[in-house]
Amino acid sequence: MSISERFPPVKGALQESVNLGEKSFFGVGGAAEILFTPLDMEDLVFSLRNFPPNTPLTILGAMSNVLIRSGGIRGIVIMLGESFSKIFVDDNILEVGTAANCSKLSTTALNHEIGGFEFLIGIPGTIGGAIKMNAGCYGSEISDLLIECEGVDFSGQIRWFRATDIDFNYRTSRIPDDLIITRAWFRGTPSINYSVSKKINEITGKRKESQPLHRRSCGSAFKNPKDQKAWELIKAAGCSGLKVGGAMISEKHCNFIINEDNATAENIEDLGELVIQKVLENSGVRLEWEIVRLGHKSNKE
């Protein structure tokens, strides 16, 4: 049965067996059984309401903090396209399509001399993913700026959430897993007493100095435990430079797992689990993954 016979007609793109690994920051992983890129909001809502019942659905953004296992992802993977990446500015309020990169939002705010978004220059993912995981760095989190967001659940129902109604915590939110965030509204600071560009340059400089930016990596592999730094625990456990296959703990920043030499997804995940075990043995602290691991470990699972 062809893809056109299995699924409703869409305005966007439905593709079979699309390699996700080559799109991910790690550069590893299997394929999406079906990849759907909706043309616009109407196309997304229509498709969700008409996909066959019980079809597994997965939403992906830039895959900057996602490890796709080698067996790939079954069902339909949804990735929002260009029409979901627009940004509109009205005074100090920014309306943002959630497929936009965090760095694009940061530079848009810079161009309009709006403060508060500088830290986003250091986050490589999309706005949707950043909201879902409450991304942050250098003492700021995206939830600090969020007013409200719009989304579509897997049944095709459009829903709205005010930031005050979302339970945000460190690298987590209570946004439902079956919600595709499509737009968000943020409030910045229009009257600032510092140079936005200077602050962005300072953050960029810190990242270049402390992180392996030119290596295949998904950023921080583990969440910081309360009142502790994951990288310090990892270093104290003797894991800096530790390798499994082609995956390695960065010696520049040991909370980064890098694809050093043609690593597999299994190499990366096994290395992470080994680090968790070594840190637990050394300090009694069990680290939690910050990287989201998706899919099946092999095509046989």
Separation of alpha carbons 190 and 172, rounded Å: 28
- Residues identified as active-site: 171, 220, 290
Residue 196, phi then psi, degrees to nearest 5: -60, -45
Nearest Cα neighbor of 102 from 90, 93, 110 is: 110
Residue burial 194-210, b: 16+ Cβ < 10 Å; e: rest: eebeebbeebeeeeeee
Pairing of strands 146-153, 247-249: unpaired
Q: Rounded to the nearest 5 degrees, what angle is found at the Cα of 37, between the Cα atoms of 31 and 38?
A: 155
Cβ neighbors of 70 (< 8 A, separation 6 or more) are 28, 29, 30, 264, 265, 266, 295, 296, 297, 298, 299
For residues 233 and 279, is the Cβ–Cβ distance under 8 A? yes
